Amino acid sequence: MSVKIGLEIHCPLLVNRKLFCNCIRNNSFCEICKGEPGTYPLLPSEEAIEKYCSVLDYYGITMEKLVFERKHYLYPDLPKGYQLTTRRKKYSSTNEIIEFIALEEDPAAIKGTKILKIDYTRSGNALLEFVTKPCFKTFSDIEEFYNKLEEELILNQIKVKNEPLRCDVNITVRKEGQDKDSKRIEIKNLHSLTNIKKSVTHQIKRLLSLDEKELKGPDETRSYDEATDTTTFSRKKETYVFLKQVNLSATNLKPGNRKLVSVCLIRENLKNKYNLLSQEEIERIIQGNWYEVVEKMENLYQVRKFIHLLKYAEINSYTRTEIITASSLCFQNISFYFLKNLLIFKSFTLEKREEVKIEQVTSSMKNIFGRIEQKRFLLDLEKRYVLPLEEVSRVYTFYK
């Protein structure tokens, strides 16, 4: 007996705006999100495409042009009657497991049982779909791949932390002495690993108990019920109609600016370079909660080492706002130093709303450093264009 399992993993993409309109992600909706007649999608958001490019680079998928297609299926969560998704043509994959990664829009969410209510706030969010080859044979393979993928996506600021990955599982079974695989069964909307495990084991058992005739039937789509721990038949597997989305021209894909970092590399680097961090702290950093680690540090020496460590570990994907919130959490003396180093290292430009926090942080400067160091710091800021020139002079006069 042999089992083939393939996955389709949907990852909510961490971007500010929705994919085809200017609405804020998970916050508001407009006529484009609702798919009202007469609306046309705007150009896809650059932020999403940049992240998509870097993901394609990292997972070894090459594609020249990004073309969006209408994928037609009729369901209440899709007010338009079709979903805009990436055309799966003219690409090549060097990845052993992942076949293709698509950028697509999220349908609306449905709530309620008798009267279904549609929540449009989710509709139009950017979504990454990882399609794997049917290469998994056991659940442990799936678990390993799933965990690694999730960690990497969180670490590199691709996935939204709080929202789970949504997974569809495709299963085929071949009994001993048979020439062909059985019918393909797709289980939709599995939100956690435990659900995947339960549904896959249940499905394999069910398939093996079927006759030869039943195994040859048409492909099915099933849904998993958590309460009864069983899968129920929802519909026959349908062929979709794909039509090119006119009015949206193809965009040329360039190699991504952000280079993603592998979790294994960071784990090794953090372990080997300094014996500063415990295993727990390393895991925290990888999960994206690294400012919790900084918060507990007590002296400048530790923080300095930590920054070097981050540099060495090639963690370069943290956003500016995260750094500033982290630094405000730390006690002032350290946070200033921490901020200064990171800002200069990253050559960030500061926005107006962040000025206040900078002032708070730099107010401690007087106590710790001498004048010469202050000057040096300000010159550094000016040189690297971290702060605009006016801002530097303002800060400088403040300390005079």
Partner 1 sequence: MNNEEKREIICKVLEGLPIDYSIGIKNAYVSRAYPSTGSSPVLKEYIPSYSSEIYKKLSKIVSYKEGKYHYKNGLIIPEECDEFCRGSSGIFNSKKLFSPIDYSIIGGSSSGAAMNLLLNKTDVSICSDTGGSSRFPVLLSKGILCSFKPGREKIDKNGLIEYVGDLDTPSIMSKNFLNLRNFYHFLSDEKFEEVENVPNLVPKFDNREVDEFLLKHKCIMKEFYKLKSTLYCWSNIRRYDGRRFGVYDNTYPSDFKPCPEFLKKCEIERIYNLKKKEVVSMEVRYKIVRKKIKPILEQITGILRNRYYLRILKFPGIIFPENSNGMSDDRQYFLELENILDLPCILLPSKYPGYYNLFVGPKNSQGKLLSSLFYEKLAAKLPIWKTDEIPVKKILLFKETDVC
Binding track over 193-232 against partner 1, x by CB under 8 A: ----------------------------------------
Q: Taking a C-beta distance cutoff of 8 angstroms, is the pair 341, 378 a contact?
A: no
Among 116, 208, 264, 379, binds partner 1 (CB under 8 A): 116
Shortest Å, Cβ 221 to partner 1: 15
Residue 40 interacts with partner 1 (CB under 8 A): yes or no? yes
Task: Quickly list DSSP for 355-400.
Answer: HHHHHHHHTTHHHHS-HHHHHHHHHHHHHTTSS-HHHHHHHHHHH-
The first and second tokens of residue 120, run together, are 């449009």
- Per CB under 8 A, which region of 186-194, 218-226, 228-236, 238-246 contacts partner 1? 238-246
The CA–CA distances, whole Å, from 174 to 39, 201, 212, 214, 218 equal 48, 15, 10, 13, 15
Answer left, alpha or beta for residue 57, where phi above 0 means left and psi between -120 and 50 means alpha. Answer: alpha
Among 61, 67, 97, 118, binds partner 1 (CB under 8 A): 118
Among 50, 57, 72, 191, binds partner 1 (CB under 8 A): 72
Number of residues this chain uses to bind partner 1 (CB under 8 A): 34
Residue 340 interacts with partner 1 (CB under 8 A): yes or no? no
Dist. CA 142–CA 305, nearest whole Å: 37
Please, which residue, 114 or 400, has the CB nearer to partner 1? 114
Site for partner 1 in 245-274 (CB under 8 A): 246-247
Q: Taking a C-beta distance cutoff of 8 angstroms, is the pair 133, 100 a contact?
A: no
Dist. CA 103–CA 87, nearest whole Å: 9
HEC profile for 240-263?
CEEEECCCCCCEECCCCCCCCCCH
HEC profile for 31-71?
HHHHCCCCCCCCCCCHHHHHHHHHHHHHCCEEECEECEEEE
Q: Taking a C-beta distance cutoff of 8 angstroms, is the pair 6, 137 a contact?
A: no
- Per CB under 8 A, which region of 233-241, 310-318, 337-345, 366-374 contacts partner 1? 233-241
- Per CB under 8 A, which region of 115-123, 125-133, 205-213, 357-365 contacts partner 1? 115-123
Q: Taking a C-beta distance cutoff of 8 angstroms, is the pair 312, 269 a contact?
A: yes
Site for partner 1 in 274-333 (CB under 8 A): none
- Per CB under 8 A, which region of 223-231, 237-245, 258-266, 359-367 contacts partner 1? 237-245
Shortest Å, Cβ 121 to partner 1: 11
Site for partner 1 in 88-107 (CB under 8 A): none
Residue 174 has a CB neighbour count (10 Å cut-off) of 15
- Per CB under 8 A, which region of 14-22, 118-126, 163-171, 274-282 contacts partner 1? 118-126
Shortest Å, Cβ 73 to partner 1: 9
Binding track over 3-32 against partner 1, x by CB under 8 A: ---------------------------xx-
Q: What would you report as the CA-atom Rg of the chain, rounded to the nearest whole angstrom?
A: 25
Q: Taking a C-beta distance cutoff of 8 angstroms, is the pair 20, 41 a contact?
A: yes
Among 46, 225, 229, 238, binds partner 1 (CB under 8 A): 238
* Residue ranges binding partner 1 (CB under 8 A): 30-31, 34-40, 70, 72, 74, 76, 78-82, 110, 113-120, 238-239, 241-243, 246-247
